[in-house]
Structures are given as structure tokens and as C-alpha cells.
A and B are shown apart, each in its own frame.
Chain A
Amino acid sequence: MKKITLSILALYIGVLAVFSQTKPSSDSAYRQRKLTFAEANIVSSYYSQDGNNSAITGGIGTEKLTDFSNSFSFKLTRVDKKWRKHSFDAELGIDNYTSASSDRIDMKANSSASYNDTRIYPSLNWTMEDDKKGLTWGAGASASREFDYLSFGSQVNVAKKTKNRMGEFGMKLFTYLDNLKLIYPIELRTGAFIPRGDDYPTAARNTFGSTFSYNQIINAQLQISILTDVILQQGYLGLPFHRVYFSDNSVHVEKLPDSRLKTPISIRASYFAGDHLIFRGYYRYYQDDWGMTAHTISLEPVIKPTAFFSVSPFYRFYSQQATKYFAPYQQHTAANTYYTSNFDLSTFTSHFYGAGLRMAPPNGILGWQHLGALELRYGHYSRSNNMQSDIVTLNLTIK
């Protein structure tokens, strides 16, 4: 933990030092073609949750978890000979989490491997905007690594503005190729599932998806976006350390189908009412072939007393119908082909509410010109099955 804290501190200082340098002037066409620094962002958040339906202990037991997340990103831009704008985004994220339920994978140990883990996730993205043609191209790659999980992602995207430039069609294709270690609960490790040291058997989980979107400017105050995804997941879609207790009290590892097709659709709107108030709204309908349906609706009014300061309370309501493979502790029987006691897949409703604060004074935060904006956001989440969590996030923008 000490090492992680020092690493984060060093990264903070490094990022601040690099981007505190004077921005080159861009008053000539020649200089515009040079790669220039656009902005950097530092996002830190602390998440804490508790509940009493952990999937690791079969739908009963503590869900206590904390996650300290930090990410550093920066953006460089250049204009090419054809006056197309290229943006390069690089990001490095580091999460450190502790999970009480993960400690119950191995009930005999004082502390199992997943009790305290670090996730590292770098990503790189490139975007090219051709303003003349109203065309945007992009591509990106990402990775994510933690003790029992390795993931590689890639994506390509294209967007084209309509003739009158009031609308824009977008399409994105993405894939994640994941590999997970099959860490079974201690009492179920037999044969090939007995690890040799940290050498566990592995399984693949692949995600292939496409996103289609349409943005439309309605008038000078209102714009909307309609977005739909088609996502296919294949491979090992359960988690090997999720226990399921049958009605005869026998214990098993969660078993789910090796394919899942998700088809969510959403609409988002932003409306500037008067001079000091913005309404942001969002609705999503979700369904998949595991029998799950869900509705999400959120509203966030943004109060802007000045152009450089805003306060935004928010509220999000979510309702989900359980997957057909879910049943709580000791409700499944041997007649079930697939079974899980993961309450994240159960029927519930949730409320998420809180507020955000944003400051972006023209002279910079505390008079430091390079510190362009500061955002602070807090949210409380409560689920109808008694899971509660809190999250606080800080975002610093350096320009």
C-alpha cells in the first residue's frame, strides 16, 4: 500500500511537472502542425460498499469492499497538412481494492490472494477530425491486469455529420479478449483445479460489440443523442469462486451459459434553460438473452451562477428483473442446468444520488493558470436488497 501511495504521488508530481511547461504559441500555420499539449486529467476516487449477499459465500455474508482508484490521462493534438485535427489520448489507471468476501475463497487462510489486489489499466486512443468533410475516425487499444484477470481491448470508430451539420451518425466496433484464472473455492479444488503455487488453470472470456449512435441538435438550447449497443460475450461468463448452495446444502461453483447477447438502447438529452440552468437527462432500456430486463433513468440539473462555477445535484433510478438463472441461498436444485446466487443478477431497484461541484476560473484554480478546472463529486448508492455504497471523486484538469 505504501509503495502504491508513493507511486501515485510520484506520478502526480511527474504529470504536474511535465505539463507546467509553457504552451507553445500556435499563431502560425507551421506551428499548428506541431504536436501540442491540449490537457491532462487526474481523477482520484474512493469507493466503499457494504451488504450481506456476497456471491462468494453463496448469496449470504459480507460484501464489504473498498476501492481506491487513480487515473492519469493526457491529450496531445496536431493539425496535419490537410488541416485535419489529430488527437492522441493516453491513460494509465491504478486501482487498489480490498474485499472481505474475497477472503472467503480460501476459508482456512488468514488472507487469500484476492483479499487485497491492484488493477492496472493503460489505454491509448487516436482520433482524426476532418472538419471540412464532417468526418471523424478513431482507434484505440487498452489492457487491464489484476491478480486473477488479464484483459486486452481494441476499438475502431467513425462518425459522419449530416449535410446541415445539425446531426451526426456514429459507429464503433470493439472487442475485449480476456483471460481469467480459475480460482475455485478451497473446498471444491480437486484434480486439475488444484493450483501449483500461483499457477492456476485458466479460461477465456471474449466480448465483441458494436455501438450505433445518432446525435441531433434540436435548437440553440437542446441536443439529444440516441445510442444502441449489440454486445456478444462468449466463454467463461461466471466466476469460479462464486459458490452456490443447493437446497440439499451441497456446495457448487456458479454455472452460467457460455454465451450472452446484450442489446441496450438509450436516449440522452441536454437542455440549456435560461442562462444559469442546464438539465441533463438519460434513459436506458436493457435486455439480454439470459432473461434480464432493466430500466435506468437519471436527471442532473446543473446550476451555473457564473460561467466558471457550477453545482449539479443528480438522481438516478434503476430497476432490474433477475436473470432466469438466479436463485438465492439454498434455493437451487440439482435439476437446474445453470445456477447462480450472485445478487448483482437478482431482481432489485436502486437509487443513486449526490452532487457535484465544478470550478474553472479563467485565471486558473487558486491563481495557478495551468490548473484549469477542479471537480468534486459525491454519490450515495442504495439497493433494495440492502447493499449500500458511497463514492467520492476528484478531477483536476491541467491545461
Chain B
Amino acid sequence: MQNSFRLTNYFTNLTSPVRLLITAGFIFICLSSCTTVKEYQKNKLNDSEMILSNRKIEKTELSFLSYREGASGANAGKSGGGCGCN
């Protein structure tokens, strides 16, 4: 796990413009390699397991994780409401 720490530290220690550039570059490479997919070619993309949002079965997991960890949001789930006191 030490390696993953070093990698995240390396990334976060970079200055904001460099981080932004790396992220933008990654997104550009991804998007520029896009191909047009016809409707009849989307059988794999339409598979229920390919969903790009949270599934119903993950709902309680996301709820407890948002209470037990300081970070929340950017996961298409709830980002407020409810106590989570305990």
C-alpha cells in the first residue's frame, strides 16, 4: 500500500496547473479516440452491469461510507440530509 501512497502524494504535490494539464490531457486522449457507435452495436454498453451510476444494492453502503468518512459527493449519491450522528 506504500506505493499507492507515494503515487497519490506525487500527484497532489504537483502544482495546480500541472495537475490540470495532466487531467485535461488524459480526458483529451480518451475523447479523441472515440468512435461513433451505432444503436445496434450498443448491446454491450446497454448491459445492466455497465451502468455509469450507483446501483440500488450499493445505496446503504454509500450511506454508511458518507457518515464514516469525511469526504462525500461526486458519486451521484446523496450529499446531505439525514443525521449520521453515530
Seen from chain A, the residues whose Cβ lies within 8 Å of a Cβ on chain B are: 41, 43, 45, 47, 49, 56, 63, 65, 67, 69, 71, 73, 97, 99, 101-102, 114, 119, 121, 142, 144, 146, 148-149, 151-153, 164, 166, 174, 176, 178, 180, 207, 209, 211, 213, 215-221, 223-229, 231, 233, 239, 241, 262, 264-266, 268, 270, 272, 278, 280, 282, 284, 286, 288, 292-297, 302, 304, 310, 312, 317-320, 322-323, 344-345, 349-350, 352, 356, 358, 360, 375, 377, 379, 381, 383, 387, 389, 391, 393, 395
Contact = CB atoms under 8 A, between A and B. Distances in A.
Contacts of B47: 272, 278
Interface residues of B, number: 52
A393 B60 contact: yes
B37 interface: yes
A45 B35 CA distance: 41
A293 B81 contact: no
A207 B80 contact: yes
B18 interface: no
Contacts of B33: 218-219
Interface string B15-36: 0000000000001001101111
Contacts of A102: 85-86
Contacts of B64: 47, 49, 67, 381, 389, 391
A216 B49 contact: no
Interface of B: 1, 4-5, 8, 12, 27, 30-31, 33-37, 41-42, 44-45, 47-53, 55-61, 63-65, 67-76, 78-83, 85-86
Interface secondary structure of A, over-half rule: strand
A56 B86 CA distance: 8
Contacts of A229: 73-74, 79
Nearest to A318: B69
A211 B76 CA distance: 8
Contact of B76 (A73, A227, A319, A393): A227
Contacts of B58: 377, 393
B76 A217 contact: no
B73 A264 contact: yes
A297 B55 CA distance: 17
A282 B71 CA distance: 15
B67 to A, nearest CB: 7
A385 to B, nearest CB: 11
Contacts of B81: 142, 144, 151-153, 176, 178, 207
A387 B1 contact: no
Interface centre among B73, B76, B85 (most CB of A within 10 A): B85
B85 A293 contact: no
30 contacts: A49-B64, A63-B86, A119-B82, A153-B80, A166-B34, A207-B81, A209-B80, A211-B76, A213-B76, A216-B30, A217-B45, A220-B35, A239-B83, A241-B85, A264-B72, A264-B74, A266-B75, A270-B49, A278-B50, A284-B74, A286-B73, A286-B74, A318-B65, A344-B67, A377-B58, A381-B64, A387-B68, A391-B64, A393-B57, A395-B57
A215 B52 contact: yes
A211 B83 CA distance: 22
- Ordered nearest first, which 7 A-B pairs have the shortest CB separation? A207-B80, A264-B74, A286-B71, A294-B71, A176-B81, A149-B83, A266-B74
Nearest to A266: B74
B79 A389 contact: no
A393 B71 contact: no
Contacts of B83: 119, 146, 148-149, 151, 180, 239
Contacts of A344: 67-70
A330 to B, nearest CB: 22
Contacts of A395: 55-57
A226 B76 CA distance: 11
Nearest to B12: A293
Contact of A45 (B12, B60, B76): B60
A352 B65 contact: yes
A275 to B, nearest CB: 9
A344 B42 CA distance: 42
Contacts of B35: 218-220
Contacts of B76: 211, 213, 227
A228 B68 contact: no
Nearest to B76: A227
Contacts of A302: 49
